[in-house]
A and B are shown apart, each in its own frame.
Chain A
């Protein structure tokens, strides 16, 4: 078996009483595009910092390509980071920023500048070397940060919410570019985000974080279609997590189940799931679909109705329906 690029064994990081990371076990393979997904404060960024070496675990062990990283400072790890705020050095121009790692390594000026030019070409910014970071747009800074992190030829590249500050269109474009870049370079990318769409569309595998723990790891389809816990269903799929009293009615022994909004349809009386009627709370037109918020026995759920279906009025009594295979049953609370 190949050595994992990064492995966490029972890793915890506590700040006083706060358990930022709590007994995490994780293994990331070499060459993988791995996403750490979770709401803010769920511990994903702390995990990234533990790999980079900016932070040390309170307990457990982080190994990088089989070696214990405990006590190894960041500057002795061939792991590089793209920071959320890019952290470009404001007093240097773009070329010197990109060439920084090579300068520290003692490479002569002419050679490191040549390599830096090459790295700028890789991120589609040729000829930007003489500018100051303050003269660049957000997207351009992001590319410079990427070139700077890649020039040291890291075996693992860490990206901390790298697209968070970009606008929607640019973000979609960069998602594609990052993915292409990772295929081309073949190195491990570990990527932290709170945007589930981003994680699902880019990553080979996703780890979902909540309260300092990993609640599910798997391929994007698994996490999306087969959530193991209600939190994942809710956070990743924006699914309707049905409460126990509703689940009992329809599925006997199970306690939790989820159904995604697009699987819910509104039907006439008698055709719906037994005994489930709802009141329309509000509707919102989203363009390709309409979002209908429903009040179901005092619990709210959402249906996403495609274009062309009849949209009920607010306050109307309706019946809900979904195909049995769209109901995803979960064990744990």
Chain B
């Protein structure tokens, strides 16, 4: 007989593991309010909210944030279209080369980000393409496709094929069926996939360093601060904000796919 109570040792190991995964992020929230501005002193000598105001008035932070948001929005839109099309084709019919298509979609995240980065960099170099907003988007959309694809493919698989036949049987042509049956059934999966793609793009730094040139997305701004700390308090506040901004879409996506699809995180 298997007892339903976990052994104490297992409970401790699991709890400690979870704590290890979460405590460091909690720390970020404490540091955002420290009065110390020259070092990473612990415990903080005092707490203040003045760095929030200081960060608020920094144009470079705003510019980086704006670039990141624009890149994430456009990349997500492209990924939504491409990922959905691909999922529809792969899940609806068996065709020659299906496996190859799935592999091609997954490759950009299966291989280390630096490979995607240096590959794009090489291609831009060979083709003489100057860095721009669009070179960043090109990279981001490519690795965001898979997140949308994974969510959409799982939902397509769960959506019974007879629903589409039922709709056509009742007089709806292909477009009407898409609008009245397919779209409503996959919309939450697409929303979840889109949110995760947004979070992924908003946070991306490895590929971006190869495709951004002199432009600064928020993660690149943070990276420079990490390598050469200039204003620790502002970095602390930005880190906290980035943590919060990525938190919302993750929880949203979890809520939308709860109890339906499998582990959404496999997409990353």
Q: Do chains A and B touch in the complex (CB under 8 A)?
A: yes
A-to-B contact residues, CB < 8 Å: 52-54, 73-75, 79-81, 83-85, 87-91, 100-101, 103-105, 148-149, 152
Is A104 a contact partner of B163 (Cβ separation < 8 A)? no
* A89 proximity list for chain B (CB < 8 A): 163, 166-167, 181, 184-185
Is B166 a contact partner of A81 (Cβ separation < 8 A)? yes
Q: Does B170 contact A (CB under 8 A)?
A: yes
Is B184 a contact partner of A87 (Cβ separation < 8 A)? no
Is A83 a contact partner of B165 (Cβ separation < 8 A)? yes
Q: Does B168 contact A (CB under 8 A)?
A: yes
The one of B162, B167, B184 in contact with A100, judged by C-beta atoms closer than 8 angstroms, is B167
**B168 to A, closest residue via Cβ:** A74
Is B172 a contact partner of A87 (Cβ separation < 8 A)? no
**B177 to A, closest residue via Cβ:** A75
Distance in angstroms from B180 CB to nearest chain A CB is 8
A85-B160, A87-B160, A90-B185 given; A148·B170 CB < 8 A = yes
Assembled-state Cα–Cα distance A81/B167 (Å): 10
Assembled-state Cα–Cα distance A261/B30 (Å): 84
Q: Does B176 contact A (CB under 8 A)?
A: yes
Is B162 a contact partner of A74 (Cβ separation < 8 A)? no
Is A104 a contact partner of B170 (Cβ separation < 8 A)? yes
A90-B185, A91-B184, A104-B176 given; A85·B170 CB < 8 A = no
Assembled-state Cα–Cα distance A84/B184 (Å): 22
* A84 proximity list for chain B (CB < 8 A): 162
Which chain B residues in 156-193 approach chain A with CB under 8 Å?
A: 160, 162-163, 165-173, 176, 180-181, 184-185
**Residue of B160, B170, B173 contacting most chain A CB atoms (<10 Å):** B170
Distance in angstroms from B133 CB to nearest chain A CB is 38
Is B166 a contact partner of A75 (Cβ separation < 8 A)? no
Is B169 a contact partner of A105 (Cβ separation < 8 A)? no
Assembled-state Cα–Cα distance A101/B180 (Å): 11
* A103 proximity list for chain B (CB < 8 A): 180
**B159 to A, closest residue via Cβ:** A90
The one of B162, B172, B176, B185 in contact with A85, judged by C-beta atoms closer than 8 angstroms, is B162
Assembled-state Cα–Cα distance A130/B203 (Å): 44
A87-B162, A89-B166 given; A75·B171 CB < 8 A = yes
Assembled-state Cα–Cα distance A73/B175 (Å): 13
Assembled-state Cα–Cα distance A84/B165 (Å): 12
Question: What are 11 A-B interface contacts by the 8 Å CB criterion?
Answer: A73-B173, A75-B168, A81-B165, A83-B165, A87-B162, A100-B170, A104-B171, A104-B180, A148-B166, A149-B169, A152-B170
* B167 proximity list for chain A (CB < 8 A): 89, 100
A91-B184, A91-B185 given; A80·B173 CB < 8 A = no
Is A52 a contact partner of B169 (Cβ separation < 8 A)? yes
* A90 proximity list for chain B (CB < 8 A): 163, 185
Assembled-state Cα–Cα distance A52/B168 (Å): 10
The one of A74, A85, A88 in contact with B169, judged by C-beta atoms closer than 8 angstroms, is A74
Distance in angstroms from B1 CB to nearest chain A CB is 34
- List the 4 closest pairs (A to B, CB-CB), nearest first: A87-B166, A101-B170, A87-B162, A74-B168
Is A54 a contact partner of B165 (Cβ separation < 8 A)? yes
Contacts A54-B168, A103-B180 known; 11 new A-B pairs at CB < 8 A: A73-B173, A74-B165, A75-B173, A80-B170, A83-B165, A89-B184, A100-B167, A100-B172, A101-B171, A104-B180, A148-B170
**A80 to B, closest residue via Cβ:** B169
* B168 proximity list for chain A (CB < 8 A): 53-54, 73-75
**A91 to B, closest residue via Cβ:** B184
Contact code string B68-95 (vs A, CB < 8 Å = 1, else 0)? 0000000000000000000000000000
* A75 proximity list for chain B (CB < 8 A): 168-173
Distance in angstroms from B160 CB to nearest chain A CB is 6
* B180 proximity list for chain A (CB < 8 A): 100, 103-104
Is B172 a contact partner of A104 (Cβ separation < 8 A)? yes
* A52 proximity list for chain B (CB < 8 A): 165, 169
